[in-house]
Amino acid sequence: MTTDSRISRTAITTSQLVALSYTYRIVLWILFAGPLLMLATQLIYMLSFFFLDAITNQHTIVTLLATAATSYKIQNQIVKAAPTEAQANETAKKLQYWLPAMMLLPCILFVRYIVTPVERVLQVKTMSILSLPIIPFAVTLQVAIGSVLLGCSICARYIGPPSIVRCSSSPLAMHPVAATIRSVTTNKEALLRVLAGKSQDTAADKKGDQTPQPRRFQWPKLRYGFSQMIITIVFSIAATFTSVLPLTRDGIHGDTPMKNAIITVAIVTNLAHLFQATLDGTSHELNPLRHGIKSGWKAKFWSVSDSYFRSFWAPGIVILVVSYFGTTDWKDMLICIFTAIVMTVHAIVFDSILKASLCATPPDIMKSIEVSASDGSPEVFLCVVLQSLCHSNNELAKNLSNISTTAIWLDLEKEEKKRNELAISAMATALLYKSPLDESGPHLEEDVLRYALVSSIGSWSCDGGVEEWKSLKEPYFVPICRGLCAYFGGLGEALVQCTSDKQSLSDQWLLPPGSVVVAECSVQGATQCLLSTISSNISTWRNSHLATLVPALLTSLFRLETGMLRYAQKRGQITPKAVPESEKISLFRTYCPQLLSLFSMVNRCSRNILQKISQETRRSEVLACCDREMLQWCDAKLDSIEHPG
């Protein structure tokens, strides 16, 4: 079976199934890992103390204290005897774990055969009174179930039909409701038309019903938002009845003011986190830079918790009012406040860990795809990668996977550049507008898979990622490199299209953080792949099919930079015009600081490619198929290298 037929027949189904499997495995692991660890820890805790109590005659605490003190004393003596400080530190590290384990048995024997008989003779039981409290297993089970229920309410925002969290890699259109409000509040004529009962003329009215619908909007759909509110309320009530009310003095029976107050507090607390985490503007869009590859776990936690606590004053007042008027005893009020604090911390920690896991770069993406697809063949891997990069555009994926048909003595660079231009146009349409295949397909699942794919090859946290991908061998890797070029080139073309409409508002289209990071990883990955194939021997380099993509790569970089400049000029309400190389950074810093890292990546990669082909080959031969505007852009890049000022 050929690669083309495999893609055309099974690509869409395979890509979606892999996306679902890959994302669901992450979500289910985060959902159940904590409660299962809690139950396992409780079982180990109970069994260990029951065993130690049995063999030490209820002197477990005395045994553990003796073990800790003896180990500490012996370790200090050994460290002091070390000749150098380095050896002392190394010895302390080695003794840290196995020395207490070795000293546990002598301490058990000491307590059993010396301490216990002495207590029996003296008839003293002061030491046996010391014991750690053991939480009943039923209580731990109730807390674990409540944790799962609260986790389900958060997971529903990420996966499932009513999910609202996204990691969009395409520009976001303004929501129709927001567009109408903005038009009415900023345009006097539009306001008069609305007051007169006349509908506004939209682009769809002028062009008919054939205008495609935008792929993604800046706001979640209203029905999805209401669905999430209902899900949060239901799971909050279930978690309260499962984990909170059974621990109170009245239990789950009766209709006491305290019971109603606790339920109300739980609902308000979890709804507050829902609004802050996903329904506040574009907060439903994941930011991989904030949660994933650059920030550490501590930064991820505090970045979320800080923003949440700053907006917690309103629900905090509600909780205090409900606690005060809903209960008559100060102890009941403390229980309500403690319930709100525990649920708040749980929501913050769970949501932070889930976001970090979804935005993490997998250590072995090829193995992950093999597990998700139950097939490790290169054809299936290529199928999944192309469909993910092409946003379910089957025709585009098929075109990218086709082999070059030009004879060996003709210009392969020209054919690849032409293929890339067609792919850029198709990709721009796919990024901006929805196709019928997008109605039933997964959303966040495909976003997560797409980010995992491009970050595994282009992320700065994956050393040697290019070599791992190139193990697929060149016939399979060339279409992947074409797909990377088509994506970030199509993103640039999409920015040009969505900012070219004179009647559009400056903020009608928004570039989410996910698209910036995916484009950045794609640019870096494609550039690394091509640079690794360019050798000092011109004949060896020209025998590599991957090297014929150099003009296509430079074209995509040019389109992406052009689109970013147009987008920044539109945001700053500046008339589109050519920008000198020395003024581009200040333009982005002033109007679009979120694009600075992407522009730096484009600038660095384009310069590296141009420098490499200028040193190892005759640049005019490689860029012979490029147009005049493209050549001027290349000359400007090279000139900025020679004259940095």
Q: Which one, of 182, 268, 187, lies nearest residue 232 by Cα?
A: 268
Alpha carbon distance 100, 145 (integer Å): 35
- Give the pLDDT of residue 464: 47
Q: Which residues contact 314 (CB under 8 A, 6 or more apart)?
A: 272
Q: Is the confidence at residue 98, as pLDDT, over 70? A: yes
Q: Is the confidence at residue 262, as pLDDT, over 60? A: yes
Q: Which one, of 330, 335, 371, lies nearest residue 21 by Cα?
A: 371
In sequence order, what are the beta bridge partners of 510?
172
Phi-psi region of 25 (alpha: psi -120 to 50; beta: other; left: phi over 0): alpha
Q: Kindly report the CA angle at 313 between 339 and 165, in degrees rounded to 5? A: 80
Q: What are the C-alpha distances in Å from 474 to residues 84, 453, 464, 470, 546? A: 54, 18, 17, 7, 7
Amino acid at 432: L
Alpha carbon distance 390, 483 (integer Å): 7
Q: Is the confidence at residue 129, as pLDDT, over 60? A: no
419-443 pLDDT, tens per residue? 999 999 999 999 988 876 565 567 8
Q: Is the confidence at residue 506, as pLDDT, over 50? A: no
Phi-psi region of 544 (alpha: psi -120 to 50; beta: other; left: phi over 0): beta
Element (H, E) at 259: helix 257-278
- Give the pLDDT of residue 8: 41
Alpha carbon distance 165, 194 (integer Å): 33
Is 311 buried (19+), middle (13-18) or exposed (0-12) by CB count in 10 A?
A: middle
Alpha carbon distance 413, 630 (integer Å): 15
Q: Which one, of 563, 459, 463, 468, lies nearest residue 518 by Cα?
A: 459
Q: Is the confidence at residue 119, as pLDDT, over 50? A: yes
Q: How many residues does the chain have?
A: 645
- In terms of average pLDDT, the best of 4-18, 226-240, 322-336, 496-510 is 226-240
Q: Which one, of 365, 457, 357, lies nearest residue 29 by Cα?
A: 357
Question: What is the average pLDDT across 147-156?
Answer: 96
Question: What is the average pLDDT across 296-325?
Answer: 57
Question: What is the average pLDDT across 51-80?
Answer: 83
Element (H, E) at 90: helix 85-110
Q: Which residues contact 130 (CB under 8 A, 6 or more apart)?
A: 59, 61, 62
The answer to whether the Cα torsion of 614, 617, 620, 622 is positive or negative is negative
Rounded percentage of the chain residues whose pLDDT exceeds 90 = 28
Alpha carbon distance 268, 35 (integer Å): 24
- Give the pLDDT of residue 326: 62
Alpha carbon 219 to chain centroid, angstroms: 19
Q: Is the confidence at residue 131, as pLDDT, over 70? A: no
Alpha carbon distance 365, 41 (integer Å): 32
The pTM for the full model equals 0.82
Domain coordinates in residue numbering, the chain: 57-124, 137-164+220-358, 365-642
Is 478 buried (19+), middle (13-18) or exposed (0-12) by CB count in 10 A?
A: buried
521-539 pLDDT, tens per residue? 999 989 988 887 765 455 5
Q: Is the confidence at residue 257, as pLDDT, over 80? A: no
- For 292-364, where are the alpha helices, taking DSSP H only? 297-310, 313-326, 330-358
Range from 337-341, 343-347, 492-496 carrying the lowest mean pLDDT: 337-341
Write a three-state SS string for 20-54: HHHHHHHHHHHHHHHHHHHHHHHHHHHHHHHHHHH
Q: Which one, of 208, 206, 211, 201, lies nearest residue 179 by Cα?
A: 201
- Give the pLDDT of residue 54: 81
Range from 462-466, 501-505, 563-567, 592-596 carrying the lowest mean pLDDT: 462-466
| Three-state SS at 336 | helix
**Band of pLDDT at residue 341, cut at 50, 70 and 90:** confident
In sequence order, what are the beta bridge partners of 509?
173
Element (H, E) at 510: strand 509-510
- Give the pLDDT of residue 6: 40
Is residue 488 within 8 Å of 560, Cβ to Cβ?
yes
Q: Which one, of 600, 423, 594, lies nearest residue 527 by Cα?
A: 600
| Three-state SS at 457 | helix
Alpha carbon distance 553, 526 (integer Å): 8
B/e letters for 578-608, b = 16+ CB within 10 Å, e = fewer, are ebeeeebeebbeebbeebeebbebbbebbee
